[in-house]
Amino acid sequence: MSDMLAPLLCLDSSADRGESVSRRLTAEFTREWRRRGAAVRYRDVSADPVPLIGEAYARLGRRVERRGALSLSDIGRLVAGEAERREWELTRPLVAELRAAGSVLLGVPMYNFGVPAALKAWIDRVSFPGVFIDPETGRKLLGDKDFVVICARGGAYGPGTPREGFDHQEPYLRAYLTNLGVDPRRLEVVSAELTRVGDVPALDGLADLAAASLAAARDRVRELAGSEPAGAPEAAGID
């Protein structure tokens, strides 16, 4: 990552706050970040859910979209009525938080081949029309930020596996983030697979592959956070 001491925004989305692999990996990343003296802003969208967007959000969004990219203040002046005011009050702080971050870390388990509903609610809320484009220059405001996405999957979804093509987690997040303005060269995705070994009988006999996948993910996380790889395998967990 290019600017390791920039403020980091970390989002966790796993519903399991005890044995989550994605949470363990984001914790390792943020622990190293803090050790180096950098600021971390933490948000747990599972423990503190982002409200689903409503009709007034869509109504205000359409009105803004017709005008192109606007400043957050200009959007606020277009708010009409109490329902739209509430939607914008729920939206603006999350947008501002993401815009203020120097780097972003997302912890994302795979649920039913996709991302958790808790993360999707955050995605829908921050994806307000035009808020990540500079209205004066047209510059993409997320283009100079580093993004690290830590994915955890109970099974395996790589080439040649029975569920190849079932992965609607990583491809979705890559498409969404780059469409939002993230530079694909500054987007890192780290995946730990087979995290449900020991829980799902169909995965019996794959413990070594699970341990290797987790060890590789931990090494990559440590590398991205600026420390030396750990190298030691660790038991798979639930995510």
Residues of each annotated binding site: 14, 20-22, 110-113
Rounded to 5 degrees, φ, ψ at 180 are: -75, -15
Helices assigned H by DSSP within 69-169: 72-77, 81-100, 117-126
Distance separating alpha carbons of residues 38 and 8, to the nearest angstrom: 8
Q: Is the dihedral of CA 207, 211, 212, 216 positive or negative?
A: positive
Q: Which residues pair with 103 in a beta bridge?
A: 8, 146
Look up residue 199 and give its two tokens: 């829980």
Cα R_g (the chain), whole angstroms: 19
Q: Which amino acid is at 34?
A: R
Binding-site sequence positions for FMN: 14, 20-22, 110-113
